[in-house]
Structure 1
Amino acid sequence: MAKTLTARPDQAATPSRRKPVSKKPNGQWKIDGKTPLNANEEFKLADDGLHVRERIIDTYSKEGFDAIDSDDLHGRFRWWGLYTQRKQGIDGGRTATLSPEELEDKYFMLRVRIDSGQLTTEQTRVIGEISRDFARDTADVTDRQNVQLHWVQVEDVPEIWRRLAEVNLDTTEACGDVSRVILGSPLAGIAADELIDPTPVIHDIKEKYIGDPAFSNLPRKFKTCFTGHPSQDVVHEINDIAFVGVTHPDLGVGYDLWVGGGLSTNAKLAERLGVFVTQDQAVEVWKGVISIFRDYGYRRLRNKARLKFLVADWGVEKFRQVLEQEYLGYALPDGPAPETPTVTGDHVGVHAQKDGKFYIGLTPTVGRISGSQLIDLAHLVEKYGSTRLRTTPYQKLVVLDIEKDDVEPFIAEAEKLGFYARPSVFRRSTIACTGIEYCKLAIVATKSTAERVIDNLEERLADVADQLPERLTLHINGCPNSCARIQTADIGLKGQIITTEDGRQVPGFQVHLGGGLADYQNDAAGTLGRTVRGLKVEADLLEDYLERLIRAYLAERADASLSFARWAMEADEQQLV
């Protein structure tokens, strides 16, 4: 039974001896009205970000970069997956000292939205051709199941959109203060041990609400994920809203609902609402939660505008009450928590489908590939009789529907293209954000650093390869914003400029250790990694530090079953430097 809503914290009486509560409004539409309280809210209220599409097609693509209005360029373009990329040759030490206009080039990163990560070979080929023709053959598979292209010019955007639309792809709300791409289990509909297939729900949300002006002005971005697979393969703990497949003892199979996750500079793991959501209710519940964010989310300060801050202030009990009473009109039943996964959710390697065929998880090194590789991969998949593949939240690709006798020949040919089904633990478990190569926020190089480190660790630690765990996650981020999820990795590296003992300013990393999300290697709950005071590593010396750290883990762990994350969380600081 739903309970009466409690008073808001800012309505409570303040004892005379306490410091007065701030009277500043938070920009919550249902409480404070829609008067914009900062420049971002002003441009969003002045003109919906969705409207810039027509200006791109009719004006900017014809008149060129210099004709673009500033609010469109630095704001509304994001609603269509476009960010200006970093000007080449600006070192990381200047990132915080230059304005966005000084940092940006006249080229764009373009994000292709791939909800649930589901692609056909035709779609994959078209993305590759767009990359080849308009993006200098760049293509990054992201940890949000998107593909990002670089070096895109505004003059070419209408043709890119036309080609994408021909194969039912788009860039709608791929960025911006909107509902971003919806993560979905890469094994949806194919895994024998799947509890529930969320594909129909994801499709309905995409068709009904992505591009809907009712939800195109949120306080900030809104990240969604669904999985019905026991591996919980969509990093649900760090999304604004997550639906995780569970079996209710009385009501059957449905979803456990989580809200309020997010990393960046103020990391928070999502919290369970404790409710059970059926497949039929999932779209309505999603709409209810995003509506709460739209109506009650904090808009005054950008660094407090994510849903996680509202959830933290309200608590899950109040959040559930508001959802049920104001937005659903009915109470949701209590539900069970998901079981701890017993297998990893990156899906690398060869695995049986429920129909007797096989899916093969492929590792492109830290997601960095080219359009030409995508074209070649599409041809290869078709050569072996399949037309389906999936992207994953781990910068991986999963090819579906391979016959048993074709598995080994396919793997051999895929490896020649740069896609590894049986990679080393380092190649498998390392992810990296875009980094200083293209990102205006970045301070250090990430992709190239990761590739170098992987190659060196494979060689340096070859003598102990058989002692290493199946996965040892290394996440490398170019700035504090944690696009590469550094706080949830065994080893997370946050890029920054550091001062060496001899006083030099050089690219380096702050080290986070022992993080992880709920999986077969860790406890049932996700854990944010620890930092060791003063532990920073020069980028050029990263391999030395990582080799020393990993050898210490292998030598000092109590037994072979102890995960790196548990060891790192329990180790003395001197063991970690």
Structure 2
Amino acid sequence: MQPARTERAAHGDLPRARPPRPSSRPNGQWKIDGTTPLNANEEWKQVDDGLAVRERIEQTYSKGGFASIDPTDLHGRFRVWGLYTQRKPGIDGGRTATLEPHELEDEFFMLRVRIDGGQLTTEQLRVIAGISTEFGRDTADLTDRQNIQLHWIEVESMPEIWRRLEAVGLGTTEACGDVPRVILGSPVAGIAADELIDPTPQIDEIQGRFIGDPSLSNLPRKFKSAITGHPSQDVVHEINDVAFVAIEHPELGVGYDLWVGGGLSTAPRLGERLGAFVAPDQVGDVWHGVAQIFRDYGYRRLRNKARLKFLLAEWGTEKFRQVLQDEYLGFALPDGPAAPKPATPGDHVGVHRQRDGRFYIGVTPIVGRVSGPVLAELADVLEAHGSTRLRTTPHQKLVILDVQEDRVASLVTELDRLGLQSRPSLIRRGTIACTGIEFCKLAIVETKGYATNAVLALEERLDGLDLPHPISLHVNGCPNSCARIQTADIGLKGQLITTDAGEQVPGYQVHLGGGLASQDRDEAGLGRTVRGLKVAADGIADYAERVVRRFIADRDAASDETFAQWAHRADEEALQ
């Protein structure tokens, strides 16, 4: 879809949507309209908190099986514990919007393991691998929220799965639902030589103080957070509800630049700077203040208007900052500078020296797909090379930490054998895909398989082509943008398309020229759409090859023009 018309932001360089027209009906803002529920979803959230359903899962549903689950728990409260029913096999995308949830769903679950900051040990990795193998038919996907998702999980297995996860410090608390989701953190926190500040203490504080807190477990919608201390700005901060980006204040030292109100889906909007400097010891309170603003003032009447970005669009940054300071903090935040443009990519792929002289290695599985056996073998390989730590990333990748220099070459070879490349092609490096129709009830089109086939084909077809930058290719199975299609060089949104012969087939609408600060962009921006530009699901490689070759032929090499810059200036004929 085309982005909303924009005006310049008050405290930064990013465009923002014009404020919506005030509604003549109450929006369900608790501090303005009261807490009386205005829709069925808000009613069940008030009847019983989602956190309470765990006891029923353990004591009742795991013993009685799928048929014993109360429908409201199944389709609502289960999400707070990281559980969604997955799609029943064999239902094509044309029926996604016509069937009821119970007709689409299987008696198995997707389980999202919450990994704040992406920080894992090999012991934890081995536990996830074991759960995948024993309970999830070997499935495991790295998400672009630093989580790991498993499939084919039965409710009967959940007590044992929780026991295993929690024994090693992992869990699924508030991994989904209208709650504070996982906190994105820099994958190189605490180890990068060029890091400004290690955000791990701030992530740990938020996680310890507020995750599982009943006062924040009924928000209007999901609430996404990100914190980075690295100059590559590696946590896609522009599309989170609240984000903290490390900066050095000329008088106050190193702290964070505060962003709010980002989000994609069907109404994409980039976050905005509040122009406020947050000291490290203030991050927890500021995060809490923003979360409470969302709880108290967020729109609850309509689900499609219930994200923080819509409130920011109405209020603007000046009012938002004032309310934060006056009603929730009780003190004023000092003004602060914007962070400089990143000089390095934020995916951390490749071999890099740590501040302690050892090395970290960023690796790329194709479109985030791994498996229980691969994760188990990865844990063994890392330990055999002297490493016990790794990180997931917001780009469906892994970063291996603490490798001695004389073990790097051997480890890179072993990682390649596992399909985890530290020297991937620029196409493989830049491609991510959502779950797609294979498991997701919202999807219209398959994603992982089509994206994988496209990567393999493009690696062969574009071999030897001098690409000046990675080309990001994001493939999404529906309009909800879990794979961040509006922020990719080439973003593909799943839908049914009509062929010249009049036949409906799976395909994608094309978005071109999006990108974030961590993706070699002068300025974050949303991709453009070209009216009528769609590709068949099995034609991704053909289209991507054609448009990439046209970019190489037309780009202004003298100015080192990027694909995104070219895509926004090119005429429609060049983008076909």
Shift of 1:294: 0.3
What is the 5 A alignment of 1:202-241?
202-241=203-242
Bigger Cα displacement from structure 2, 136-145 vs 418-427: 418-427
Map of 2:200 onto structure 1: 199
Identity %: 69
Q: Give the Å deviation of 1:469.
A: 2.6
Match in the other structure for 2:7? none
SS in 1 for 2:73: helix
Partner of 2:575: 576
> 1:509 matched to which residue of 2?
508
Pairing partner for 1:555 from 553, 556, 568: 553
Which string of whole-angstrom CA distances, capped at 9 and with x for unpartnered residues, describes residues 197-239 of structure 1?
1101110111111001010000000000000100000000000
Distance 1:310 1:38 in 2: 19
Q: Which whole-Å CA distance do the structure 2 matches of 1:72 and 1:520 have between them?
A: 40
Letter in 1 for 2:545: E
Instruction: Give the structure 1 partner of residue 243 of structure 2.
Output: 242
SS in 1 for 2:535: strand
Distance across 2 between alignment mates of 1:545 and 1:432: 17
Match of 1:146 in 2: 147
**Distance across 1 between alignment mates of 2:472 and 2:305:** 29
Give the C-alpha shift of residue 556 in structure 1: 1.0
Q: TM-score scaled to structure 2, two decimals?
A: 0.96
Partners of 1:81 and 1:174 within 8 A in 2? yes
Which residue does 1:500 correspond to in 2?
A: 499
Q: Distance in 2 between matches of 1:140 and 1:519?
A: 23
**Aligned partners of 1:89, 1:469: CA distance in 2, in Å?**
42
8 Å contact kept, 2:496–2:506: yes
Separation in structure 1 between the aligned mates of residue 543 and residue 145 of structure 2, nearest angstrom: 29
State whether residues 342 and 520 of structure 1, in contact with CA within 8 Å, keep that contact through their aligned partners in structure 2. Answer: no
Q: Distance in 2 between matches of 1:193 and 1:425?
A: 24
Q: 1:22 deviation in Å?
A: 4.2
> Could you give the per-residue CA deviations for residues 488-529 of structure 1, whole angstroms, max 9, x where no partner exists?
000000000001111000000100000000146221x31100
1:384 is aligned to 2:369: no
2:525 matched residue in structure 1 = 527
Q: Which residue of 2 aligns with 1:13?
A: none
Amino acid at match of 1:564: F
State the alpha-carbon separation in 2 of the partners of residues 72 and 461 from structure 1.
Answer: 49
* Aligned residue type for 1:574: E
SS at match of 2:319: helix
Give every structure 1 segment of 4 or more consecutive aligned residues whose post-TM-superposition deviation is greater than 3 Å. 20-23
Extract unaligned runs of 5+ from structure 2: 1-20
* TM-align CA RMSD: 0.9
Rounded to whole Å, the distance in 1 between the matches of 2:24 and 2:139 is 49
CA distance in structure 1 between the partners assigned to 2:125 and 2:539 by the alignment? 38
Distance 1:528 1:426 in 2: 20
**CA shift in 2, pair 1:190/1:176, >3 Å:** same
How far apart in 2 are the matches of 1:306 and 1:27?
A: 13
Q: How many residues align?
A: 555
Distance, in Å, in 1 between the alignment partners of 2:519 and 2:66 is 49
Hey, what does 1:57 align to over in structure 2? 58
Q: In structure 2, how many angstroms separate the alpha carbons of the residues matched to 1:55 and 1:394?
A: 35
- Aligned 8 A contact 1:359 1:398 in 2: yes
The letter for the 2-side match of 1:573 is: E
Q: 1:520 to 1:161 in 2, by over 3 A?
A: closer
Structure 1 residue 21, shift from structure 2 partner: 6.1
Structure 1 residue 135 corresponds to structure 2 residue 136 = yes
C-alpha contact 1:426 1:474 (8 A) present in aligned 2? yes
Could you tell me how far apart the structure 2 residues matched to 1:469 and 1:222 are? 36
> Secondary structure of 2:208's partner?
helix
In structure 2, what is the equivalent of residue 79 of structure 1? 80
Aligned residue runs from structure 1 range 67-466, under 5 A: 67-464=68-465
Matched residue type, 2:494 = G
1:7 alignment partner in structure 2: none
TM-score by length of 1: 0.95
In the superposition, relative to structure 1, how do residues 519 and 161 fare at CA in structure 2: closer, same or farther (>3 Å)?
closer
* Partner SS state of residue 486, structure 2: helix
Which residue is equivalent to 2:471?
472
* Alignment gaps of 5+ in structure 1: 1-19
SS in 1 for 2:150: strand
Q: Is the CA contact (8 Å cut-off) linking 1:340 and 1:520 kept in structure 2?
A: no
Deviations 1:379-438 (A, max 9, x none): 111001011000000000000000111111100011111111111111111000000000
Q: Which residue of 2 aligns with 1:8?
A: none
Equivalent position amino acid for 1:163 in 2: R
Cα distance change of structure 1 residues 56 and 239 upon mapping to structure 2, 3 Å threshold: same
**Alpha-carbon distance between aligned partners in 1 of 2:422 and 2:200, rounded to the nearest angstrom:** 25
Residue deviations 1:164-192 (CA, integer Å, cap 9, x gap)? 01100000000000000000000100011
- SS in structure 2 opposite 1:408? helix
One-letter amino acid of the structure 1 residue matched with residue 134 of structure 2? D
**Inter-partner Cα distance in structure 2 for 1:22 and 1:73:** 33
Bigger mean CA offset, 553-562 vs 275-284: 553-562
1:246 counterpart SS class: strand
Q: Give 3-state SS (helix, strand or coil) of 1:545's partner.
A: helix
Residue identity in the other structure for 2:525: T
